């Protein structure tokens, strides 16, 4: 056998070294921790008494919560890579999928839990694994929609010259997807993946400590730990939970998201070289290993083979080029959608009307307008504050690296942990909860705008920045003519998801409890929370339906036209 036929190990350059040993130890330790947490899923379903507030239990609870969130994130990524391309590339599927996505992102997490808890618990009666599936699904609903909207926005705003180049090279639909569209979408998708992880933390209490009518479960985790600490007015335990959450976020930021951000930066769309930013220490560690390098090269080769497959799929045809037969089929398809939607609305109305009076229905509509006012005020405040800050951060990669973990922690900070401060301040100064509970909504809304604006500014082409600097474009003109058009598609995505998140977080933001004191703001979120605690299915359906209707109308009237404008006028 010749030397050239030997594997890479024969050269001596790829033999395992001390860095490989360290990597193997870390991987084995991670597997042991995962196995330890997985073993707990086969235990009987715990009660509130099994959640201990001693600090020694927090590492295990943090491990259980983190694994749930990463499992949900994996499902969210798969969902995003399937759902968004289908909606973007098929006009008929898009007629269903985009409104469906609007509906899904507007349904509050308690709305999902109200109808899924009993289903998952019935699959594994009396076992933790059923509640685990329910919690993972709830976390999935707080992660997937934001990532899907981001990917959809990127697929519909691919630069025209790159699109024409892909057609000149005769790339198949599959090759175009993996070699053009996914790389172009990667910077925004990575930032929104980070935001989705933070969104999971924001609703972790609702996911792990659930009461729906007579059904109650508390899973071992930081969320249930916080729930028990709040019910016992244990401020020290709340502080311990904050510290544990900060430690977990810092760990996965260093090990996962910093390398991902550094890797995704190479997909920025620009014709000039960007500033050199030092690689994270994790990438330096991985480059020193040899076994992991071989594994990475094998995965890369496999990805190249899969991405290079010549599969072709039907693509969206512009309206002007569609034949008359196709337009007729579109009309029939739209009519079928209208019939199915009308039947679903009739069934919902029939179910709700059996126990809800017309007066109660009118009251719920009015509550929706109260929450709408809070959502609108929150978005105005968030836009005015975070768009300039997000642009400043996104245009400065070194500062972005420093601020990234801080922003992740603040975005992940559950509003429930602010309840002690909010309740004490509102009671001490006799403030109106209808106004001063709104900051809790802003806590759950602002990060969608910030992260998307940072992603847009980070992906802003360097040649355009240099051109505007050379032409002396500054001040208000620079904002109007350069940066706002550049980040506008990203801002629309962030504002759209922030709007849905504001409605969703109204359930948390309109009801604040600390010990025996509960403050409630008049609104749709507090109504749904009240009906969920009472186990009133008809009230839950009515509240969720009204909230979904508000979100759909706002998206159709405001955000979708803005998105079409961004695609039509502001795509480079």
- DSSP secondary structure string for all residues of 526-565: HHHHHHHHHT-HHHHHHHHHHHHHHHHHHIIIIIHHHHHH
Task: Note the CATH number of domain 13-267+277-315+355-569.
Answer: 1.10.3720.10
Residues facing residue 217 across a β-bridge = 210
Domain extent listing, the chain? 13-267+277-315+355-569
The Cα 365–Cα 357 span in angstroms is 13
Q: What sign has the CA pseudo-torsion 350, 354, 358, 364?
A: negative
The answer to whether 209 and 218 are in contact (CB under 8 A) is: yes
CA 389 vs CA 70, 173, 393, 460, 479: distances in Å: 29, 38, 6, 15, 13
Whether the pLDDT of residue 4 is over 50: the answer is: no
The answer to whether 14 and 290 are in contact (CB under 8 A) is: yes
Mean pLDDT for the stretch of residues 128-140: 86
Mean pLDDT for the stretch of residues 25-29: 82
Residue with tokens 């981001």: 150
Q: Considering only 89-98, 218-227, 416-425, which range has the smallest mean pLDDT?
A: 416-425
Model confidence at 378, pLDDT cuts 50, 70, 90, reads very high
What are the pLDDT digits (tens) for 192-236?
A: 888 888 878 877 777 787 665 566 678 888 888 888 888 788 888
217, containing H or E segment: strand 215-218
Q: At what angle do helices 235-252 and 222-231 cross, to 10 degrees?
A: 160
Find all residues with CB under 8 Å of 464, minimum gap 6, and list them. 270, 482, 486, 572
Residues facing residue 211 across a β-bridge = 216
Report the 10 Å Cβ neighbour count for 368: 21
Find all residues with CB under 8 Å of 347, minimum gap 6, and list them. none
Model confidence at 1, pLDDT cuts 50, 70, 90, reads very low
Q: What sign has the CA pseudo-torsion 212, 215, 216, 217?
A: negative
The Cα 197–Cα 402 span in angstroms is 18
pTM of the model: 0.76
The answer to whether 561 and 143 are in contact (CB under 8 A) is: no
Nearest one of 65, 379, 89 to 241, comparing CA atoms = 65
The answer to whether 69 and 62 are in contact (CB under 8 A) is: no
Most confident of 131-140, 205-214, 368-377, 482-491: 368-377
What are the pLDDT digits (tens) for 348-360?
A: 888 888 888 888 8
Give the model's pLDDT for residue 151: 92
Whether the pLDDT of residue 432 is over 50: the answer is: yes
What are the pLDDT digits (tens) for 479-520?
A: 988 888 888 888 988 898 888 888 877 877 888 777 677 888
Whether the pLDDT of residue 69 is over 50: the answer is: yes
> Would you state the structure tokens that stand for residue 491, as one six-digit string?
């801002």
């Amino acid at each position: 056998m010749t030397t050239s036929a030997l594997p890479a190990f024969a050269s001596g350059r790829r033999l395992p070294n001390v860095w490989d040993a360290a990597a193997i130890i870390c991987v084995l330790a991670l597997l042991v921790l995962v196995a330890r947490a997985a073993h707990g899923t086969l235990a009987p379903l715990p009660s509130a008494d099994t959640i201990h507030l001693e600090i020694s239990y927090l590492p295990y609870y943090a491990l259980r919560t983190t694994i749930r969130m990463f499992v949900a994130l994996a499902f969210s990524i798969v969902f995003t890579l399937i759902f968004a391309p289908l909606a973007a590339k098929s006009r008929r599927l898009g007629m269903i999928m985009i409104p469906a996505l609007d509906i899904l992102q507007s349904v509050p997490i308690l709305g999902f839990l109200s109808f899924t808890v009993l289903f998952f618990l019935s699959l594994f009666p009396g076992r933790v694994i059923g509640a685990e599936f329910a919690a993972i699904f709830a976390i999935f609903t707080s992660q997937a929609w934001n990532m899907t909207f981001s990917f959809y926005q990127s697929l519909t705003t691919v630069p025209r010259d790159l699109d024409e180049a892909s057609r000149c090279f005769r790339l198949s639909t599959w090759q175009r997807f993996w070699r053009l569209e996914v790389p172009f979408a990667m910077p925004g998708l990575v930032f929104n993946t980070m935001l989705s992880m933070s969104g999971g933390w924001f609703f972790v209490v609702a996911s792990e400590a659930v009461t729906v009518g007579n059904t109650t479960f508390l899973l071992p985790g930081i969320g249930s730990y916080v729930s028990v600490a709040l019910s016992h007015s244990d401020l020290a335990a709340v502080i311990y939970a904050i510290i544990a959450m900060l430690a977990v976020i810092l760990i996965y930021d260093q090990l996962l998201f910093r390398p991902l951000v550094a890797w995704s930066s190479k997909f920025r769309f620009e014709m000039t070289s960007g500033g050199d930013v030092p690689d994270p220490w994790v990438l330096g560690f991985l480059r020193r290993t040899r076994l992991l390098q071989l594994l990475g090269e094998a995965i890369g080769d496999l990805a190249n083979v899969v991405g290079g497959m010549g599969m072709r799929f039907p693509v969206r045809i512009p309206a002007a080029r569609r034949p008359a037969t196709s337009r007729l089929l579109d009309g029939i398809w739209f009519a079928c959608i209208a019939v199915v939607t009308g039947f679903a609305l009739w069934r919902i109305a029939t179910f709700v009307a059996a126990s809800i009076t017309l007066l109660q229905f009118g009251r719920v509509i009015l509550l929706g307008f109260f929450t709408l006012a809070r959502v609108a005020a929150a978005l105005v405040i968030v836009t005015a504050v975070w768009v300039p800050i997000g642009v400043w951060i996104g245009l400065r990669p070194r500062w972005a690296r420093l601020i990234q973990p801080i922003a992740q922690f603040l975005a992940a900070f559950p509003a429930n942990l602010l309840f002690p401060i909010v309740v004490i301040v509102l009671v001490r100064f006799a403030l109106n909860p209808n106004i001063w509970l709104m900051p809790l909504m802003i806590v759950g809304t602002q990060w969608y705008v910030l992260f998307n604006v940072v992603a847009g500014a980070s992906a802003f082409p360097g040649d355009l920045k240099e051109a505007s600097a050379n032409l002396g474009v500054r001040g208000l003109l620079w904002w109007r003519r350069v940066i706002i058009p550049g980040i506008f598609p990203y801002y629309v995505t962030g504002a759209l998801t922030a709007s849905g998140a504001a409605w969703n977080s109204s359930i948390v933001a309109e009801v604040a409890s600390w010990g025996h004191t509960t403050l409630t703001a008049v609104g749709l979120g507090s109504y749904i929370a009240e009906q969920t605690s009472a186990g009133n299915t008809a009230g839950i359906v009515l509240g969720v339906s009204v909230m979904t209707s508000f979100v759909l109308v706002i998206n159709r009237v405001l955000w979708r036209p803005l998105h079409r404008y961004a695609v039509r006028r502001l795509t480079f």
